[in-house]
Amino acid sequence: MTPDVNVLVAASRADHPQHAVARAWLEEAVHASGAGAAFTLMPIVLASFLQFVTSPKIFQKATLIEDAVAFIDAMLASPGVQLAPLGPEWSKLRQLCLAKQLGGNDVSDARLSAAVSHPGEYLVSFDRGFRKLLSRSQFTLLVPSWAQPRPGTSRFAGDANRVAL
């Protein structure tokens, strides 16, 4: 399982509107990784996380770089959490960009999708745009806190590949 940058940003910042949903998912996923569930952090996501949370253009009170790095270090220090290697996703990225005629901001989503699909991981995100890049077996959409789930449904939308508690 692999979180998108939007999940990490929301989980790390108490002032983010999706903090509660993202933090609960992240804590469940890290806990499950200690029991053997796969949990992989992609280098591109970590770099984007540092870029976003430390930007005063995005947050009035940006996260200090030391605090942002400590957040990542805490995840990486958890049993079962691993850092993905870089590089082998190029052929899949090339294929996605050409097949879907992607450009601009869509390229970073395609790069993450390629990185996720190459080693057989799957992505968890608030971003519905990944639906056009990944199959249901490769992607779980988190439902934002403002979206009311129907009675008897999970707060997670998408496939059955979510963390079971």
Count the domains in the chain: 1
Q: Which domain holds residue 60?
A: 2-158
Residue 96 has pLDDT above 90, yes or no: no
In a domain, 113, yes or no: yes
In a domain, 151, yes or no: yes
Per-residue model confidence as pLDDT tens digits over 99-147: 988 876 787 888 888 888 876 788 999 999 899 999 888 999 998 877 7
Residue 43 has pLDDT above 50, yes or no: yes
In a domain, 164, yes or no: no
In a domain, 140, yes or no: yes
Buried b (16+ CB within 10 A) or exposed e, 41-51: bbebbbebbbe
User: What's the Rg (C-alpha) of the chain?
Assistant: 15
| pTM flag (> 0.75) | no
Q: Tell me the two tokens of residue 48.
A: 């984007």
Say if CB 83 and CB 43 are below 8 A apart: yes
Task: Please report where in the chains the tokens 């469940």 appear, as a residue.
Answer: 28
CA pair distance 132, 97, nearest whole angstrom: 12
Amino acid at position 18, single letter: Q
In a domain, 94, yes or no: yes
Task: Please report where in the chains the tokens 């009311």 appear, as a residue.
Answer: 148
Stated length of the chain? 165
Task: Return the number of other C-beta atoms located less than 10 Å from residue 135's C-beta.
Answer: 10
Higher pLDDT, 117 or 30: 30
In a domain, 136, yes or no: yes
In a domain, 163, yes or no: no
In a domain, 119, yes or no: yes
